[in-house]
Chains A and B, each alone.
Chain A
């Protein structure tokens, strides 16, 4: 047993003073040091960026806000030689022209109809985009049927005035269609009821649509040549959306079909449209569509680019939807089939609801592209936002050096708000959908 314990030579009598907390691990200064000046290269980068911001942001703010001219009746406010200021944006110009940018040359006393159209559009979009909205199935019916019909009546004035021959023709067509359904049902030896309901339903929907279009609501007729501005931009975008989604789904199903002819037709259409620029499609719709129709039928000048953009975005939509269909596990298809569902039932009840849900971000991205692409109709002479700005820019009443820049700043702001909003929405949905996958 050893008792030789080394005596400590030194025993601290009082407690060491606590070290100060490392001062620079939190707080704004530490954050700046960590994120902006963590090394020589980083510091250099930060300084370069600061310099770039210094030379770009203040002039921009000056132009847009500080030096901007906010009010004025004509060019005098924005011309230095007439006592105005021409170093900043001429917002007075935008204020003066705002109703033209919104409605184009739409008859002034009838502009409330356009406002109602905007409200109805907002209602439809909100109903469909808000994922927790009640009765979204009704929302779809509203957006894809009721809303287009009502908008057509509101904007043009309705009262299409179909001839008696047209109605007789429609009745014959309807009767034939119902008879065809009944005939098929008889061939298949199934009960007649569902066939009659489906056939009658189709005829009834088309009939109601036509009757509504034909009815005289006492609205003045406004020719499409007067429409313009935001109205046309939103119209082109909306028609593109309303047409491209169903048509794109059909094309996507066609491309995934086992029937070679159907598949080839879909592939050819999709790849053809995706391989050419939109502007060539628009020019084609503008110049070739009248050629392909019988000589006595003229296509409305606004309708031609509408058809062009709708076809164009359908092809892109088809590819997005195809992505969703391919992402469905095979078990879903097999499960549906083993339940004895036929192809339409399987698609409508099982596959499409899931597939479309996972591609909502892709669909919204396609809409963003479509919305930006609507500006191209200006090139074929349709008065959308860009074209109305171009037209106002050369107005001699507003001949001032900053007018062009101001107009484009306004256009940029308009498109940015819509597109950025949509992209945020798509990000939100993406995050929500991903939340379900995380365990």
Chain B
């Protein structure tokens, strides 16, 4: 019988064959190469900046900007505001177009995604054509198209189109009534808050009740009433007693231009339209894949338990589809936010246009400006994906 095998130690080999040694070698090599590249780049940058007499550091953020921005959500003036404030203006413009875009694109994307699965042949085909066309044309071309299509046919301000209810449309954009808040306008958000809290409590109570007794309560109706109805009711009551908290300033026709009211830039409209319709095509595909991912057996099992079609959709299909839909949906939201940087092509003052465009050209401080701008986008992306990871861990199916 062979007994002793392990006595003969393996033949002594060069230590270079040790995977650990090799691993350390490769990593040191990588660090040295990358470090050397960074070192060369940094020394060159310092030298080049000195030669071009460009300042460095973030001090420029406190310098006076000296240029105007067409859409500002905070107080901003060429003479009195700094580059730092210009950055905030750009950031807010990016965020607002992204937020509104995300809202509309979600609705449109879900509609088209569900339409693609419709049994109605026409509806399904039209949705498919929409998705294929929009997905296969670059967003930049679409934005330029929308910009021209939106801006082109509009009349000069003096011949503004009146659309009723204080809406005017001309080549400078969409003008509409501007709300003016009285001192006691806070009651309306307060009413909304009360409505939200009330809804939350009511839903909990209804769920506990239903689990105990099996009796169902009209949760949807009550939610609608509390969240929407309460603020509206407050407003109406206050307006009736003569203390109207919100009044509207309606734009008036002047000789050459409209005065008063609120202006929405055509660039904003074009960007919003482009981002919304483009991203909706991708969201539609995400939604379709999510719904198809719920196996047919789930629907049939729910049916055999006696659930009605509406309940099957609401209680069985959608919760399972959402688990598949939400991660790619968030990445589409991120794409929309990143794509909003294409605003620079049509002149909407977003972060890239204001900060990486005008500010960069005026100050020449490329490194700082690029770092700040990329930092903003990177922060948004990383925070979102961190939240997504938490969500994924929560909804992941716990397997045996």
B154-162, B260-268, B366-374 - the one binding chain A: B366-374
- Chain B residues contacting A50 (CB-CB under 8 Å) are 122
Instruction: Flag if A279 contacts B341 (CB, 8 Å).
Output: yes
Instruction: Kindly state whether residue A49 has any CB partner on chain B within 8 Å.
Output: yes
The docked-state distance in angstroms from the alpha carbon of A45 to that of B135 is 24
List which B361-381 residues lie within 8 A (CB) of chain A.
366-367, 370, 373-374, 377-378, 380-381
- Chain B residues contacting A36 (CB-CB under 8 Å) are 120-122
Whether A295 touches B48, Cβ cut-off 8 Å, given contacts A36-B120, A261-B27, A408-B148, is yes
- Chain A residues contacting B366 (CB-CB under 8 Å) are 284, 287-288, 291
Instruction: Kindly state whether residue B390 has any CB partner on chain A within 8 Å.
Output: no
* Residue ID in chain B nearest A421 by CB atoms: B136
The docked-state distance in angstroms from the alpha carbon of A199 to that of B40 is 27
B31 touches which of A52, A261, A404 (Cβ 8 Å): A261
Instruction: Flag if B370 contacts A287 (CB, 8 Å).
Output: yes
Instruction: Kindly state whether residue A423 has any CB partner on chain B within 8 Å.
Output: yes
Instruction: Kindly state whether residue A35 has any CB partner on chain B within 8 Å.
Output: yes
The docked-state distance in angstroms from the alpha carbon of A42 to that of B123 is 9
Instruction: Flag if B123 contacts A49 (CB, 8 Å).
Output: yes
The docked-state distance in angstroms from the alpha carbon of A372 to that of B44 is 34
Instruction: Flag if A46 contacts B120 (CB, 8 Å).
Output: yes
Number of A-B contacts (CB under 8 A): 161
The docked-state distance in angstroms from the alpha carbon of A412 to that of B138 is 8
Instruction: Flag if B30 contacts A408 (CB, 8 Å).
Output: no
A2-10, A74-82, A148-156, A373-381 - the one binding chain B: A373-381
Instruction: Flag if A386 contacts B140 (CB, 8 Å).
Output: yes
- Chain A residues contacting B23 (CB-CB under 8 Å) are 258-259
Instruction: Flag if A46 contacts B139 (CB, 8 Å).
Output: no
Instruction: Kindly state whether residue B345 has any CB partner on chain A within 8 Å.
Output: yes
Instruction: Flag if B14 contacts A189 (CB, 8 Å).
Output: yes
Instruction: Kindly state whether residue A415 has any CB partner on chain B within 8 Å.
Output: yes
Instruction: Flag if B377 contacts A277 (CB, 8 Å).
Output: yes
List which A19-78 residues lie within 8 A (CB) of chain B.
35-36, 38, 42, 45-46, 49-50, 52-53
Whether A412 touches B48, Cβ cut-off 8 Å, given contacts A46-B123, A287-B360, is no
Instruction: Kindly state whether residue B132 has any CB partner on chain A within 8 Å.
Output: yes
Whether A283 touches B352, Cβ cut-off 8 Å, given contacts A295-B47, A378-B345, is yes
Instruction: Kindly state whether residue B256 has any CB partner on chain A within 8 Å.
Output: no
By CB atoms of chain B within 10 A, which of A50, A372, A408, A415 has the most? A408
* Residue ID in chain B nearest A292 by CB atoms: B41
Instruction: Kindly state whether residue A272 has any CB partner on chain B within 8 Å.
Output: yes
The docked-state distance in angstroms from the alpha carbon of A96 to that of B118 is 45
Instruction: Kindly state whether residue A129 has any CB partner on chain B within 8 Å.
Output: no
Instruction: Flag if A405 contacts B136 (CB, 8 Å).
Output: no
Instruction: Kindly state whether residue B144 has any CB partner on chain A within 8 Å.
Output: yes
The docked-state distance in angstroms from the alpha carbon of A52 to that of B125 is 13
Instruction: Kindly state whether residue A18 has any CB partner on chain B within 8 Å.
Output: no
Whether A265 touches B381, Cβ cut-off 8 Å, given contacts A35-B119, A419-B137, is no
A265 touches which of B14, B34, B122, B133 (Cβ 8 Å): B34
A291 CB to closest chain B CB (Å) equals 5
Whether A280 touches B374, Cβ cut-off 8 Å, given contacts A45-B123, A295-B51, is yes
B274 CB to closest chain A CB (Å) equals 12
By CB atoms of chain B within 10 A, which of A49, A189, A265 has the most? A49
The 10 closest A-B pairs by CB, nearest first: A275-B381, A419-B136, A292-B41, A261-B27, A287-B366, A35-B121, A277-B338, A372-B138, A375-B138, A277-B341
Known: A49-B126, A265-B30, A278-B338. 12 other contacts (CB 8 A): A35-B120, A35-B122, A36-B120, A45-B118, A46-B122, A260-B27, A292-B41, A294-B47, A373-B138, A408-B144, A419-B135, A423-B136
Query: Mind listing 30 A-B residue pairs with CB under 8 Å?
Result: A36-B120, A38-B119, A45-B123, A46-B120, A49-B126, A50-B122, A262-B30, A274-B381, A275-B380, A276-B374, A276-B381, A277-B352, A279-B344, A280-B370, A287-B360, A288-B370, A290-B48, A291-B49, A292-B45, A295-B44, A372-B139, A375-B140, A376-B140, A401-B152, A408-B141, A408-B145, A412-B137, A412-B145, A415-B137, A415-B138
